[in-house]
Amino acid sequence: MGHGGGRRWAHVGGSGDEHDKPSGRVPRRHLVRDIARLFKPHRWGVTVIGLLVMFTAGLGVVNPIMIKVVFDTALFRCSGCAPDLPRLYVLAGVMIAIPMITGAIGIGQTYLTNRVGQRVMEDLRNRLYAHLQGMSLRFFTGTRTGEIQSRLTNDVGGIQSVVTDTATSLLSNVVTLLSTVIAMTVISWQLTVLSLAITPLFVWYTYRAGAVRRKVTAQAQQSKAEMSAITEETLSVSGILLSKVFGRRREELKRFREENHRLADLAIRQEMVGRTLFAVIGTFFSGMPALVYLVAGLVVSYDVTHGITAGITAGTIVAFTTLQSRLFFPIGSMLQVSVEVQGSLALFERIFEYLQMPHDIVDAPDAQRLDPAAVRGDVRLDRVSFRYDRNAFGEIEPAPLAVSGADGADGEAPRAWAIDDVTLEVRPGQLAAIVGPSGAGKTTISYLIPRLYDVTSGTVLIDGNDVRDVAVDSISDVVAMVTQETYLFHASVRRNLLYAKPDATQAELEAAARAAFIHDRIVELESGYDTLVGERGYRMSGGEKQRLAIARVVLKAPRVLILDEATSALDTTSERLVQAALQPLMRGRTTIAIAHRLSTILAADVIFVIDRGRLVEQGTHAELVERSGLYAQLYEQQFHGGRIEAECEDGVVLSTGEVIHAPAETVA
Ligand code: ADP
């Protein structure tokens, strides 16, 4: 499974070939509003930071102005007179104290900005994680795990500098810039105009550089996500197994290296965007004092020749050029910051894109809880139809559904409906077996019952309640699934079991493990129940994992059990143990089994035969054999009229329980 349906998510995830296309789903106006909203809970912190920044930035112009005062009133009061020492002491004291005060405030300010910044990011990660947890299976089947991880870590991490540094430095620079320009104007407006003439050019260039930066950042983040996906796919146990078995090491390396190279290139570009600009500004400002001296010299000599009292003193010129040099840093850094901000908008965009994806499986406003104690376990599908090719926005994806299994093989037209008008009922306590060719829709039906997907039309009912009308999390109290692929966490056996029932006692754990015939095996392990099972349980054999998964469900004791029988081969003992573990599990509860074993089918109260999404036959084994329809055909083909218990990937299980591993080509 896993074809076609998630195309929209794949797009959102920015699959490899969409590197150049920023998604642009979140409008710019909303983006700024949404970013501002992130800071709302921290408005007091932000206000204090703002005040501190303005205060220190304002304080910054005092010293350059003091230069003029020192020069003109204390050091060189008039030509030939001695410096005014007492005055000089006071002024020098003030000039030393100011930077000390600024420095002290700066420490507090850094602490506050980091605090606010880290809290905002913590918040964002929590929200993103919670939102993703609430996404339906549809999203996860269409999005690569690595991509999701990358957004949660790389993208959120990437905004850190913006959140902590950028905003404050922006404010600080604006204040510094304004106060400096005002001070400069007061000292000499003519020289100020001269100094600022070229600024508009810088602003224009910055805007351009920012746009490029935004694009490059978006690409770099996509590339990071791609890397993360590659790593996740190829360095996981299943991935490395596949790569080793198929000898694909070299290709995987090549793929990784290429993407890695792309990322490095993008990172270089990201760094370089706007750098020339800063170089130009730097040069410009370094040369500026000379220009000021020149102009001042011209003005003074003009004044002297025309007998006008010179308005420009030495103090004026030194103070002015000092102020002017103070302009370089804020202008340069503001331009730099605005380029960076553009880049980080791309990050915010990627984060909000996930945050704003609607949840498609949510509680109805008046949803009732299913009471696990009161539920009898009647499961009904009423004229249910379902298609995968509908995205979370309810739109049908344009391309037809890719089909697998028999459909593709016999060249029939692809079908749009995975489930087509199915009505069936399993009464409380019954064991129902769902059988049918591969790709018929058995798994899909099993997903619809616990509302992992919503039906496209029709109704799924548990005890007469439409599953869309009950609280989603209360369904999981009632319905449990044992899937073919057993998923275990990289944690102890105990923690894996407790997942089903966090408050279970050791006695309960052991009882469940005994019922699943796994207790004896667990106590044999080096640390018993505290033994780590290894990544996804790879340290356990297939049968042991299945039995652990069964023990987990025994602990949960659901009213309705959905069982997808494994098709993979187990050795005879494991096979028997798994079967033995399953028997008591099915007893006393409604069980819907996607049956691959004859014993399950024979034990079933009712068998539903599914073909190409439709319910084609239903009845007991005897009735269905009698009808000589699809079931009779499957029974003959798959179970050789009862001589074979189950077919598995690399052999057959005989009715005696013996497993015969056959060379692949001889298996029908
Ligand atoms: P079965 O369990 O009987 O083998 P499934 O229920 O898995 O069949 O699949 C029914 C049909 O739906 C198949 O044609 C399959 O290709 C398709 N399908 C299954 N899962 C998805 C998915 N996530 N996205 C799109 N199509 C899917």
pLDDT at 139: 87
pLDDT tens for 220-272 read 888 988 888 888 888 877 778 777 777 788 888 898 999 999 999 998 988 88
Å from CA of 418 to ligand 1 middle: 6
- Segment 526-550 shows an average pLDDT of 79
SS3 of 390, please? strand
Å from CA of 483 to ligand 1 middle: 15
User: Is 612 close to ligand 1, i.e. is its CB under 6 Å away?
Assistant: no
pLDDT at 347: 85
User: Is 5 close to ligand 1, i.e. is its CB under 6 Å away?
Assistant: yes
Closest CA to 444 of 296, 564, 318, 295: 564
pLDDT tens for 46-86 read 889 888 888 887 887 787 788 888 888 878 877 777 878 88
Token pair 């490059």 in the structure block, residue:
216
Which long-range contacts does 497-500 make (Cβ < 8 Å, 24+ apart)?
497/529, 497/548, 497/551, 497/552, 497/555, 499/552, 500/552, 500/553, 500/555, 500/556
d(CA 222, CA 228): 10
pLDDT tens for 552-598 read 888 888 899 998 887 665 666 667 777 777 777 777 889 999 988 88
Å from CA of 534 to ligand 1 middle: 30
pLDDT at 12: 39
pLDDT at 3: 37
Q: Which atom of ligand 1 is nearest to the CA of 389?
A: 25
Ordered alpha helix ranges (H), 450-541: 472-478, 493-498, 506-515, 519-524
Report whether pLDDT(514) > 80. yes
Which residues share a beta bridge with 482?
563
Closest CA to 384 of 466, 480, 469: 466
Identity of the residue numbered 140 = F
**Where residue 421 falls among pLDDT bands split at 50, 70, 90?**
very high
pLDDT tens for 149-191 read 888 888 888 887 777 777 677 777 888 888 888 888 887 887 7
DSSP 170-195: HHHHHHHHHHHHHHHHHH-HHHHHHH
User: Is 441 close to ligand 1, i.e. is its CB under 6 Å away?
Assistant: yes
d(CA 491, CA 537): 9
Which of the two residues, 534 and 33, has the higher pLDDT score? Answer: 33
pLDDT at 414: 66
Report whether pLDDT(195) > 70. yes
User: Is 446 close to ligand 1, i.e. is its CB under 6 Å away?
Assistant: no
pLDDT tens for 124-153 read 999 999 999 988 888 888 888 888 888 888
Token pair 């994992």 in the structure block, residue:
545
pLDDT at 463: 93
User: Is 2 close to ligand 1, i.e. is its CB under 6 Å away?
Assistant: yes
pTM value surpassing 0.85: no
pLDDT at 630: 92
Contact 416, 389 (CB under 8 A): yes
pLDDT at 24: 44
Instruction: Tell the residue nearest (CA) to atom 23 of ligand 1.
Output: 2
Token pair 């089994």 in the structure block, residue:
593
pLDDT tens for 4-31 read 333 333 333 333 333 333 444 556 677 8
DSSP 597: B
Å from CA of 441 to ligand 1 middle: 6
Token pair 């000021």 in the structure block, residue:
292
Report whether pLDDT(285) > 60. yes
Q: Which atom of ligand 1 is nearest to the CA of 438?
A: 4
User: Is 151 close to ligand 1, i.e. is its CB under 6 Å away?
Assistant: no
Contact 377, 384 (CB under 8 A): no
Mean pLDDT of the chain: 80
Contact 354, 127 (CB under 8 A): no
Task: Give the lowest-confidence range in 164-173, 364-373, 421-430.
Answer: 164-173
Cα angle vertex 350, ends 344, 355, to 5°? 125
Number of H helices, E strands in the chain: 27, 13
User: Is 596 close to ligand 1, i.e. is its CB under 6 Å away?
Assistant: no
The percent of residues above 90 in pLDDT, for the chain, comes to 18
The percent of residues above 70 in pLDDT, for the chain, comes to 86
- Segment 489-510 shows an average pLDDT of 88
pLDDT at 412: 55
d(CA 622, CA 626): 6
